[in-house]
Every structure is written in C-alpha cells, then in structure tokens.
Amino acid sequence: MPKVTYIEHGGASHEAEIAVGENVMRGALYNNVPGIAGECGGALSCATCRCFVDDAWVARVGGPATHEERELLEAAASLDTDEGPARRNVRLSCQISMTDDLDGLVVRLPAKQYA
C-alpha cells in the first residue's frame, strides 16, 4: 500500500499506509493522526481536513481544486494567517484519492482546523 507522511504543525511526523482509492483524510482518521478532524466525513462541506501538499507532490495529487473545494478553502483561509507563504498548496485531504503514484506523499497540517 502507498504511504503518506502527515506532518503536524509542531513538526511531529506520522507515516501511514493508505489503500489505493481511499482518500488522505480517511487515512489520517483511520490511523489516529492528530490535526485532521474531517467532521463532514468527506462530503465536501466543512474544510476541517485542510492540509498543505509539499511542492514536490502538487502536480501528482490531482487538481486543480474544484470550485466547491476552492470555496471551502477560501472560507477557511483566515485560520491560516500564521502559516506563511509556504501554505499556497492548500487542499482538502478528503479530495485527494490515493494511487500507487502517490506513495511517499507528504502533507503538512495547519495549526488549527476550527475558528
């Protein structure tokens, strides 16, 4: 199974194997990775699974973000004011489906998912 490395805002790292076809949000939830809430269960309605895709992986995760995803990310953008310019690669982890090509994916988690 492909692996994802989740890096918490404070720097702690968690590696998890995620089944092909599963999304990055559920992978975090199934493996008890702190920093991803996923309150809507991946229904594209809450933005509590935001993550920042490392530059090397942006082209491979699929995208660009859909209109619906962009709207949620824009609404949550005020939460990331302390995150700096490196946070341009923000995505909802529920919208990133695992493939074998994503083995080794690295995502960073925000300081908070809620206002």
Is there a domain that residue 113 lies in?
A: no
Cα–Cα dist 7/13, whole Å:
4
Is there a domain that residue 70 lies in?
A: yes
Is there a domain that residue 114 lies in?
A: no
Number of domains the chain contains: 1
Is there a domain that residue 74 lies in?
A: yes
Is there a domain that residue 47 lies in?
A: yes
Which domain CATH number covers 70? 3.10.20.30
Q: pLDDT band at residue 41, thresholds of 50, 70 and 90?
A: very high
Q: Which residues form the domain of 23?
A: 3-108
Is there a domain that residue 21 lies in?
A: yes
Segment 38-63 mean pLDDT = 92
Cα–Cα dist 54/5, whole Å:
10
pLDDT value of residue 75: 86
